[in-house]
Each structure stands twice: as C-alpha cells, then as structure tokens.
C-alpha cells in the first residue's frame, strides 16, 4: 500500500439493522481500474460513497495520498479541502448524467465549470479546452453552445465524462457509468472510457452490476455481498475461476451473448 492512491482499512457502516459495510479493505493504485461488483444492496454503492468521502463510515479509515505524496485521513479532512479535491484531483461519474450536469448550461459551460472553479479566468482558454474535450468524447465541437437537453443519453454520459476529466484528475469514481444506456451506446462508451483511462493513466473505482463491463474495463475486481468483500483479485481470475459460492452464482447467472 506504500504507493496506493487510496487505502481503505476496516470500513464498517450500518444503517439501523442493515449492514452496508463490514470490515472492508481496499487499495487503489495510480492508473488502475478497480471494479466493485455485486447485486443491489450488496454495499457496492455505499463503498463508493465512503471511498469518495461523500459518506462517513462508522468504523475504519480511508487514506488518500495527495500529489505531494502526503497521506490524509479522508474523513478527517476539512470540508473545503475535500470539496476542492472533488473539483480537481478527483472526479465522480454518476449513473444518471443529469445528477452531475447543469441542464440549463451549455455543453461548453458544463465542461468548463471545473476549470473556472479552479480559478482559470481566460474565456478563450476555457472554450478551447471545452472544444478539445468535446472532441475527445466524440461530441461534435460545433455543439459547444447547445444545451444538454438536446443531447441523447449516450452523449449526456460522454459530456459528463468530459466535464469530469477536464481537470485531469488522478482518480475517478464511476457509479454504473453504462447503466441505463442502449447496448450499442454502452459499447461506444466502454471503448471511450477504456481509451481515455489508459491514455491518461487515470485510476478508477468502478461500481457496476454488469460483469461484462467489469471484465472489459477492470484489472482487478472486488465482489461484494452483504457489505463484505467476499472475493477479490485479478478480474479474469475471479470471473473465470470463482472460489466463493456467491461469486460462482453471480458468474453463472450471466447470460452470454
């Protein structure tokens, strides 16, 4: 864990009688994609929220290593610092892009917001960066002044990704980024995420219930059930040679095309 970007130790969280997290350990190293799979209620989204500091655990610690290599106890960080982190070194891609995008602000304004939040005050530079990022996520840069509601679901998700990556974060949290999209649109998005993540060397914590998505994007995998990590390791090893009864069930339940 010496170089890990994020290290979770002994995370626990209960909601009344429900155990959302139970003794969860996880590490994330720079440039790797870690998938968290499990069915609804397994605790995977809670884990994402705790790892990203959006939710505090009852027990355990999440350590974050900043670009200057200093370690921070994430949940002890002052709110301004944590929010600044979420605007710069980190990103969050929601399943529903409408949760993140400003629907009444143009595509260019949406992409430029994080730059402006960082204090960039040159309109021409912001616009050029927005155009560049629209092109990178395969949206016609000529649509820079269009409002998001004129975009398709797949385009909205790509716009959200452009908006998130514009500050070159080192770590991006993704919550079911391909959920709710048509299969053909999913493929395009998967390819895009894969290409960008590889090229930019971004570390990703990817929460998905779709094992095929995990297989195509992630190097390592955590399988969660009832708030516990019941199996973890190389993605193909966990999926091709599952050891835990629940993982075997999960893998065998997937319809293959």
Partner 1 sequence: MMMLEARGIAKTFVLHLQGGTRIPVLDGVDLQVRAGECVALSGPSGAGKSTLMRSLYGSYRADAGSILIRHGGVMVDIARADPRLVLRVRRDSLGYVSQFLRVVPRVPALDVVAEPAVARGVPLDQARRAAAALLDRLNIPHRLQALPPATFSGGEQQRVNLARGFIAGHPVLLLDEPTATLDDANRDIVIGLIREATRRGAAVVGIFHDAAVRGAVARRTLNVQPHRDAA
Partner 2 sequence: MSGYNFAYLDEQTKRMIRRAILKAVAIPGHQIPFGSREMPLPYGWGTGGIQVTASILGPPDVLKVIDQGADDTTNAVSIRRFFARTAGVATTTRTVDATIIQTRHRIPETPLHEGQILVYQVPLPEPMARLEPSRAETTRMHGLQEYGLMHVKLYEDIARYGRVANSYDFPVMVNGRYLMSPSPIPAFDNPKLHMSPALQLFGAGREKRIYAVPPYTAVRSLDFDDHPFRAGRAPGICALCGADDSYLDEVVTDDQGTRMFVCSDTDYCNERAAAAAIQGNAA
Taking CB under 8 A as the criterion, which residues in 125-184 touch partner 2? 126-127, 144-145
Partner from partner 2, partner 1, none contacting 243, C-beta within 5 to 8 A by type: partner 1
Number of CB atoms found within 10 A of residue 249's CB: 12
**Is 243 one of the binding residues for partner 1 (CB under 8 A)?**
yes
What is the token pair recorded at 96?
Answer: 């529903």
Sheet holding 203-208, edge to edge: 90-93, 171-175, 203-208, 33-37, 220-225, 228-234
Q: Which is nearer to partner 2, 46 or 160 (CB)?
A: 160
Q: Is 122 in the site for partner 1 (CB under 8 A)?
A: no
Query: What are the structure tokens assigned to 45, written together?
Result: 């989204």
Q: Select the binding partner of residue 244 from partner 1, partner 2, none (C-beta < 5 to 8 A, by kind).
A: partner 1
Which range in 116-124, 206-214, 215-223, 248-256 contacts partner 2 by CB under 8 A? 116-124
Give dist(CA 161, CA 192) in Å, integer: 10
Q: CB-wise, 127 or 188, nearer to partner 1? A: 188
Q: How many Cβ atoms sit within 10 Å of the Cβ of residue 33?
A: 24
Q: Quick check: 97 binds partner 2 (CB under 8 A)?
A: no
Alpha helices in the chain (DSSP H): 44-51, 79-87, 107-117, 123-136, 153-165, 183-200, 211-217, 235-240, 245-252
- How many residues bind to partner 1 according to rule CB under 8 A? 25
Work out what residue 194 binds among partner 1, partner 2, none; the CB cut-off runs from 5 to 8 Å by kind.
partner 1
Q: Decide: 123 and 131 in contact? Cβ < 8 Å.
A: no
Binds 2: which of partner 1, partner 2, none (CB < 5-8 Å by kind) = none
User: Could you tell me which residues come within 8 angstroms of residue 14 by beta carbon, excluding any fewer than 6 positions away?
Assistant: 20, 58
Does position 15 interact with partner 2 (CB under 8 A)? The reply is: no
The tokens of 174 are what? 């993704």
Task: By CB under 8 A, name the one of 10, 18, 58, 102 that touches partner 2.
Answer: 102
Q: Residue 219, interface with partner 1 (CB under 8 A)?
A: yes
Pick the stretch among 10-18, 93-101, 119-127, 222-230 that binds partner 2 (CB under 8 A).
Answer: 119-127
Instruction: Report if residue 134 touches partner 1, rule: CB under 8 A.
Output: no
Q: What is the CA radius of gyration of the chain?
A: 18
Considering CB distances under 5 to 8 angstroms, the limit depending on partner class, which of partner 2, partner 1, none binds residue 96? none
């Amino acid at each position: 864990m010496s170089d890990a970007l994020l290290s979770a130790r002994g995370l626990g969280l209960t909601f009344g009688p429900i155990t959302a997290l139970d003794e969860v350990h996880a590490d994330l190293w720079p440039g790797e994609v870690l998938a968290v799979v499990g069915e609804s209620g397994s605790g995977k989204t809670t884990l994402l929220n705790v790892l990203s500091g959006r939710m505090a655990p009852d027990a355990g610690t999440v350590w974050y290593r900043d670009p200057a290599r200093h370690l921070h106890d994430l949940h002890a960080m002052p709110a301004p610092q944590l929010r600044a982190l979420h605007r710069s070194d980190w990103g969050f891609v929601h399943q529903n892009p409408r949760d993140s995008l400003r629907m009444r602000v143009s595509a260019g304004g949406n992409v430029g917001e994080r730059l402006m939040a960082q204090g960039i005050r040159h309109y021409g530079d912001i616009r050029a960066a927005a155009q560049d990022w629209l092109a990178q996520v395969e949206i016609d840069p000529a649509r820079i002044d269009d409002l998001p509601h004129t975009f398709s679901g797949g385009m909205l998700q790509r716009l959200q990704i452009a908006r998130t990556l514009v500050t070159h974060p080192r770590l991006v949290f993704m919550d079911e980024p391909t959920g709710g999209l048509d299969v053909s649109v999913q493929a395009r998005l998967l390819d895009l995420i894969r290409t960008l993540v590889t090229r930019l060397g971004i570390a990703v914590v990817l929460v998905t219930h779709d094992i095929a998505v995990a297989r195509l994007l992630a190097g390592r995998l955590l399988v969660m059930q009832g708030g516990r990590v019941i199996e973890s390791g190389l993605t193909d090893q966990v999926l091709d040679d599952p050891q835990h009864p629940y993982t075997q069930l999960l893998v065998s339940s997937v319809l293959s095309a």
